[in-house]
Structure 1
Amino acid sequence: MDKNDTLKKAGLAAVILLAPGGYILGATLAARYWQRRRAEGPVEDTVADDPGQPPA
């Protein structure tokens, strides 16, 4: 087996092992973000009722 073939197999193993972990990490971070955001309550509207008037 030559060096190029070994590198291809190592790269394939890295993709198989690391990509699912990346998806799990990303999903976990997104879930924590949305959970924290939901716990904070609704976001106040800072837009003025009349577009010609600045917000109070």
Structure 2
Amino acid sequence: MFQDKVVVISGAGSGIGRELAFQLTEAGARVALSDINRAGLDETMKRLPNGSKAKG
């Protein structure tokens, strides 16, 4: 369902936003992430599979 789609997620550095990023990448989406907590966002990005992050 999410194959070849880009999903924008705010609050991806922790909690629901982080989990949503993991689940959507497993479903085939690429994700564009943001969070005010840079350290948390960096950790989320490290844990995502290569090729799943949309870069801007």
Give the TM bin, normalised by the shorter chain: under 0.3
TM-score by length of 1: 0.26
Query: Larger % of strand: which?
Result: 2
Query: More helix per residue: 1 or 2?
Result: 1
Larger Rg, first or second structure (1 or 2): 1
Give TM-score scaled by structure 2 length: 0.26
